[in-house]
Amino acid sequence: MATLTMADSHRADLFHSMYGYSSTSVALPPPVLLTSTWWDQQKIQEAATPRFIRQALHSPSSKTRLDEQLQFGEGLTESTYLDWIIEHTQKFFLILVELNCAEMIFEIIDGSWDDEDLPLSLQTVERLGLGSAGVEKKFAKKQYAYLVRELVPGETMEYLDEEVVPLEVISKRVPTTAGGTTKGGLVEKVYLPRQREVCYSRRRVLLSHEGDEDSGAGGNKMSQASFLAEISRLRSIEHPHIVSVFTSYTHDGYGYLVLSPCIDLTLKSFLHSTPPAWKSQPKDKRRRIIFNWLHCLADALAYLHEKGISHGDIKPSSLIIEATTYKIFFADTGDSKFLDSSPTNTTSPSSFLFRQFNTLPVSADVEGYEYGAPELWQRTLTSHESQLPPTNTVFSGRSYRKASTQSTNSNSSEETSSPSPTNVSVGGWSSATPAHPTTSDMFSLGCLYLDILSFKQKRKTTAFISHRSAKNRRPRESGPPDASFHANLGQVDSWIEGLLKATRKKPDRALVEALSITRRMLSRDPGARPGARRVADEGYSVVRSVCKGVEMPCCGVHNIVAGNAEGEIFGGWGVESLVLKTQTSRSSSGSGSLLSKRSTADTTASGSSGSVGSRRWMAV
């Protein structure tokens, strides 16, 4: 049975390493086109035609011999050498052509060799009589290019080091850190033979040799048994909005994951630099897609929580969007993000799956910090001596403060060459482990909801960031202001109120309902946040009102009944209740309702559950 796991902040971000996407960049780097050669059975048959065979033989006598009957058959067959090549030794012939000794095919046929005998060891190749040791070694190596075994979806293939894996590489990129330095590992965009229209992402993990520990000398190896166990775990996660393992294999000391779908866009890049194709979509369709995103993400997260898995790292760059269908996906799922071959700079814990495969320190994951729940971070103060005022990062407080200052006597005859040391207390945020990781997931998802709804209302992401950090600026320091959601809940609430003002002139009940759900997800108190299944259920009713019979919501038919598994009464929130909540919270607290332990709307819901009763929404 799956156990509830928290995505440790000391672990790497699979999405960044898996797709080579830097958290600070907006657009993906341009691909570098590559070429690769593989021969499957179809390509072999298309190449080894009678015309090609005759052209490959330069000697007139050899061309004449093609039409003669086989000598080794003792009159039991009427097949000619040409027939035998096409039917039984196509691979042999193509290898010999590449080695510039095509005429040797007759001796091979007379020796009763055929393609079923391949591959041959070097000792066996010597019996073919190819003439020189150099040609024999080339044959032993080249034969594997014509013995391609196809990848099987849903299975893990084991390839020999000499074999060729039938994946065509379109582009590759090396993951980089936020500072532009190389993280290690390799990201490849690939497709299967003759299926260029469907692309996948390929990632690899370095496997340890037999007898080695997973936490070997390099600290970045994984045993094959552990790799297969992790693949099995990943395949147990099946949801239409979670990236899945299409196939996997081992080759040349590495384990490989072929993931579907391939990245086209991240939510982060989509919000920062919207593709022109999106803008050309009809307005009603764009509206349906956006509200579908809200429901689909909640449904996927509810699926994970119901399987005992917490995501633990929900942020814009961990979501991907298909460029053609605009379908949205979680790109990583909890522990799966640690399956990477990048080097590590951490020493704990010992298990491979709990190692950090990232050259950046934890504090450098600014995006994870900004979208993390309040309970994931705790405020700390550190006292130390400094000659100059410290420069704090985004994880520090608004400013430093002096605890005490050593004064100097201006009338003193002694001259000092440097400033006197100053005791300062520097504020910072350190990661913490929440009691209930699923509620932390809900806060992070609420942050994404607000980003998406702001985008729908044509509000720029940069404007939202500036608004969040408006009261958390530090003019005396060079570090950027803290733009996290959890440290600026008052500003987040005022941003929601600003979005609601637009509905007073142009009513949009679906938007108001969605903002109400979002507001509860962003409650500081983890216990006041709704569960993922409840959010999915409420979101479904919103999507149905937006679709209005034009099309079905993306995730299909849902039955919503009051009193779900979380013991909550489903009520939903209309325009009137949300406006009343906003006015009440503004009059009682100038800092915004998100700062309270439990919002007014949640209290109202619990107090009026008897009148809500049972509701059922069904797609018709």
- Asked if residue 220 has pLDDT above 90, the reply is no
CA distances from 287 to 89, 283, 292, 577, 588 (A): 60, 6, 9, 24, 35
For residue 405, the tally of other CB atoms under 10 A from its CB is 11
In sequence order, what are the residues at sequence separation of 6 or more whose Cβ sits closer than 8 angstroms to the Cβ of residue 504? none
Average pLDDT (532-541) is 92
Which domains are seen in the chain, by residue range? 41-145 (no CATH), 149-173+183-209+219-263 (3.30.200.20), 274-342+364-382+424-472+481-560 (1.10.510.10)
Q: What is the dihedral of CA 44, 46, 51, 53, to 10 degrees?
A: 0
For 475, counting Cβ atoms within 10 Å of its Cβ (0-12 exposed, 13-18 middle, 19+ buried), the class is: exposed
Taking Cα atoms as reference points, which of 503, 514, 523, 494 lies closest to residue 582? 494
Residue 333: pLDDT band by 50, 70, 90 thresholds? Answer: low
Taking Cα atoms as reference points, which of 118, 116, 136 lies closest to residue 126? 136
The two three-digit tokens of residue 568, written as one number: 């909550």
In sequence order, what are the residues at sequence separation of 6 or more whose Cβ sits closer than 8 angstroms to the Cβ of residue 248? 155, 156, 157, 231, 255, 256, 257, 258
Taking Cα atoms as reference points, which of 243, 214, 305, 227 lies closest to residue 7? 305
Residue 118: pLDDT band by 50, 70, 90 thresholds? Answer: very high
pLDDT, tens only, 85-102: 999 999 999 999 999 999
Q: 540 — alpha (psi -120 to 50), left (phi > 0) or beta?
A: alpha
Three-state DSSP string of 348-386: CCCCHHHCCCCCCCHHHCHHHHHCCCHHHEEEEEEEEEE
Sign of CA dihedral 10, 229, 188, 174: positive
For residue 553, the tally of other CB atoms under 10 A from its CB is 22
pLDDT, tens only, 575-585: 334 444 444 44
Which segment of 59-73, 343-357, 513-527 scores lowest on mean pLDDT?
Answer: 343-357
The distance in angstroms from the start CA to the end CA of the chain is 36
The pLDDT value given to residue 6: 39
3-state class (DSSP) for residue 69: strand
Sign of CA dihedral 148, 151, 155, 161: positive
The pLDDT value given to residue 390: 43
Give the Cα separation of 417 and 422 in Å (integer). 15
Give the Cα separation of 178 and 272 in Å (integer). 17
Residue type at 185 in one-letter notation = G
* DSSP assignment of 501-523: HHHHHS--HHHHHHHHHHHHHT-
Which segment of 299-303, 312-316, 412-416 scores lowest on mean pLDDT?
Answer: 412-416
Residue 219: pLDDT band by 50, 70, 90 thresholds? Answer: low
- Asked if residue 268 has pLDDT above 80, the reply is yes
pLDDT, tens only, 344-403: 333 222 233 323 223 233 334 788 899 999 988 766 545 545 454 443 344 444 433 333
The pLDDT value given to residue 398: 43
The pLDDT value given to residue 208: 87
Give the Cα separation of 488 and 594 in Å (integer). 10
- Asked if residue 450 has pLDDT above 80, the reply is yes
The percentage of the chain sitting over the pLDDT mark of 70, rounded to a whole number, equals 62
Give the Cα separation of 261 and 256 in Å (integer). 16
Residue 546: pLDDT band by 50, 70, 90 thresholds? Answer: confident
Instruction: Point out which residues pair with 382 in neighbouring strands.
Output: 426
Residue in the structure block whose two tokens are 């990232």? 358
Average pLDDT (170-181) is 56
The percentage of the chain sitting over the pLDDT mark of 90, rounded to a whole number, equals 42
User: HSE on the CB side for 347, CA within 13 Å?
Assistant: 0
- Asked if residue 506 has pLDDT above 70, the reply is yes
Residue 179: pLDDT band by 50, 70, 90 thresholds? Answer: very low
CA distances from 337 to 2, 7, 8, 351, 614 (A): 17, 9, 10, 14, 40
Mean pLDDT of the chain: 73
The pLDDT value given to residue 474: 60
Of the two residues 218 and 210, the one the predictor is more confident about is 210
Give the Cα separation of 112 and 497 in Å (integer). 83
In sequence order, what are the residues at sequence separation of 6 or more whose Cβ sits closer than 8 angstroms to the Cβ of residue 54? 63, 66
Give the Cα separation of 443 and 526 in Å (integer). 8
Average pLDDT (411-417) is 44
Instruction: Compute φ and ψ for 119, nearest 5 degrees.
Output: -85, 155
CA 241 to chain centroid: 12
Give the Cα separation of 598 and 261 in Å (integer). 39
Which segment of 30-39, 266-275, 415-424, 532-541 scores lowest on mean pLDDT?
Answer: 415-424
Which segment of 92-106, 552-566, 605-619 scores lowest on mean pLDDT?
Answer: 605-619
Which segment of 254-268, 422-436, 498-512 scores lowest on mean pLDDT?
Answer: 422-436
